[in-house]
Amino acid sequence: MKDENVIQETISFVKKTLDGAEGGHDWFHIERVYKNSLLIAKEEKVDMLIVSLGALLHDIADAKFYNGDESIGPKIASDFLHSKEVIPEVIHHVVAIIENISFKSSLDKGNPKKERFNSLELQVVQDADRLDAIGAIGIARTFNYGGFKNRPLYNPNILPNLEITKEEYKKSTAPTINHFYEKLLLLKDKMNTNSGKKLAEKRHLFMVNYLNQFYSEWNGQS
């Protein structure tokens, strides 16, 4: 099957699979990450099929919606790509992207001697995914998920956990505002590519200005 046909069939598969998904992790999130991946990839020497499939399948079964099970997404993606007779090398690479793309993976100290998977394709898709977590859309997604989990907007008595571990992150029920400090504001400095870093600057500043306005309104100052 030609690369373009595989991509189009993957798009159809993802749209169908994520029909009715939570608003911050639905097909439109995937589409934005896909488009951002293609944009960033223009400046990098990458395998475009791997980047495309990695972007389209990276959240096919986000662990947070499956009781924290991080094995489901990679398995669904692998099974689908095998059914389309994609070559094993591409499948293995795409699955590795899915397994290593998330922010919480960076919190997993694990075995310090164990080398984590990395590739330029992963870096491109990871930057694209992180871009969708910040800026105006990132803020909207954050509060959408907070509402989905029935979390308070903000509680000044519950401080952000700036040393949060992977397990604490996965189990967190903290107010939504805390998520800015535990993840969103950290992403600008975790971007991999030059294009990703440039795109992140404007979105980061938007979040900083938003938080300043939020606290002013919260404290009755404006």
pLDDT values of the chain reduced to their tens digit, one per residue, 222 residues: 789 999 999 999 999 999 999 899 999 999 999 999 999 999 999 999 999 999 999 999 988 888 888 999 999 999 999 999 999 999 999 999 999 998 876 666 555 545 689 999 999 999 999 999 999 999 999 999 999 999 999 999 999 999 888 888 888 899 999 999 999 999 999 999 999 999 999 999 999 999 999 999 999 996
Confirm whether pTM is higher than 0.85.
Answer: yes
SS (H, E, C) 148-175: HCCCCCCCCCCCCCCCCCHHHHHHCCCC
Quote the pLDDT of residue 110: 59
Q: Are 100 and 117 a contacting pair, CB within 8 Å? A: yes
Q: Are 56 and 7 a contacting pair, CB within 8 Å? A: yes
Q: Are 141 and 29 a contacting pair, CB within 8 Å? A: yes
Quote the pLDDT of residue 103: 83
Write the single-letter amino acid at 163. Answer: E
How far is Cα 215 from Cα 217, in angstroms, rounded to an integer?
A: 5
Write the single-letter amino acid at 32. Answer: R
